[in-house]
């Protein structure tokens, strides 16, 4: 495991204290304008991984890290039906955050497999899972996402590569609903990204995990008006959150290579799992592009 100096707060503590630090910094800057000493530049995150990002680097099909993958047999785990692990081959920069990703109703991990190497090559350990049943509902998929993260950190061959305090969940459709359920039940998570999520529960006011909700304008399975939009608006106003609606896209948009889904998912994970403020530029101010129908946020992020 990577050793972190004792004077550096852990990820959960960071979330709780950064809003206060932001106000303190504002007061320092104000003081500087009145003749006080200039404010010092913030130190880089100890969890920062990889080179400085560019638009090209987060839109690329692969990032800077060489990766490998391994199969997790269903018979070797409990709580989910196995999957595939994608991970950086070098640990020269230290341990990595980890992300578990669930497919949607009736689907298998193949529907979200493209995200595995895409995210891993940016500096994450990623597991795409198969669910116990293709018909599992969102709450069950959320429990299975957490089981997959527990497997990664406690029992997998890549466990020593992972910082167990920097974990995230993603999912498509009912898997996206599952990511909300997982975030609601485990506030220690650092990020959640529901992709055109479906869930019968619309109120997520109890979530304390930074959440990027991605919806699709032409989604007829989980219409944004009854799913992604109420998910986003129900999240606490004090939470770091964002809503991205894909322009002229369908429910299945996140199930194949999609530059917009990838670049903002990478940015969100880097910003909140790695606390890497170099990626803030892609999230705040609100991005505008022909592929984005609408974007809402709570910038500046804490």
Asked if 12 contacts 167 with a C-beta cutoff of 8 angstroms, the reply is no
Does the annotation mark 290 as catalytic? Answer: no
Strand order in 211-216's β-sheet? 67-72, 83-88, 124-129, 96-102, 162-172, 191-195, 211-216, 241-246, 292-297
Question: How does DSSP assign 18-37, residue by residue?
Answer: HHHHHHHHHHHHHHHHTTPP
Helix-strand-coil split of the chain, %, nearest 5: 35, 20, 45
173 noted as active-site residue? yes
Would you say 127 and 75 are in contact if contact means Cβ atoms under 8 Å apart? no
Beta bridge mates, 241: 211
Written as six digits, the tokens of 3 are 């050793």
Find tokens 């986003």 and name the residue: 232
Given the residues 156, 173, 179, 267, select the one marked as catalytic: 173
- Given the residues 219, 275, 276, 297, select the one marked as catalytic: 219
Token representation of residue 261: 């889904």
Find the catalytic residue in 199, 227, 251, 301: 251
Comparing CA positions, the residue from 275, 262, 280, 274 lying closest to residue 97 is: 274
Catalytic residue list contains 251 = yes
Q: Which residues are designated catalytic?
A: 173, 219, 251
């Amino acid at each position: 495991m990577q050793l972190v100096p004792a004077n550096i707060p852990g990820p959960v503590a960071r979330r709780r204290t950064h809003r206060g630090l932001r106000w303190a910094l504002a007061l320092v800057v104000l003081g500087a304008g009145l003749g006080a000493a200039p404010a010092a530049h913030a130190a880089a995150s100890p969890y920062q991984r990889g080179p400085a990002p560019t638009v090209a680097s987060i839109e690329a099909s692969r990032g800077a890290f060489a990766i490998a993958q391994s199969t997790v047999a269903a018979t070797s785990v409990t709580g989910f039906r196995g999957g595939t692990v994608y991970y950086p081959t070098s640990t020269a920069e230290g341990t990595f955050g980890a992300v578990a990703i669930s497919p949607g109703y009736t689907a298998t991990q193949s529907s979200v497999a493209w995200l595995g190497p895409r995210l891993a090559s940016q500096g994450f350990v990623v597991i795409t899972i198969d669910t116990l049943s293709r018909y599992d509902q969102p709450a069950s998929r959320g429990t299975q996402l957490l089981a997959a993260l527990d497997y990664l950190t406690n029992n997998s061959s890549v466990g020593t590569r992972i910082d167990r305090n920097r974990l995230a969940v993603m999912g498509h459709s009912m898997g996206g609903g599952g990511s909300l359920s997982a975030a609601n039940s485990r506030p220690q998570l650092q990020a959640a990204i529901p992709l055109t999520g479906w869930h019968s529960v619309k109120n997520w006011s109890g979530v304390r995990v930074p959440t990027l909700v991605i919806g699709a304008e032409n989604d007829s399975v989980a219409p944004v008006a009854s799913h992604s939009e109420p998910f986003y608006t129900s999240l606490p106003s004090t939470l770091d959150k964002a809503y991205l609606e894909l322009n002229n896209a369908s429910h299945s948009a996140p199930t194949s290579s999609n530059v917009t889904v990838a670049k903002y998912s990478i940015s969100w994970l880097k910003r909140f799992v790695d606390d890497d403020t170099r990626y803030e530029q892609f999230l705040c101010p609100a991005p505008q592009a022909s592929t984005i129908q609408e974007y809402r946020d709570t910038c500046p992020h804490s």
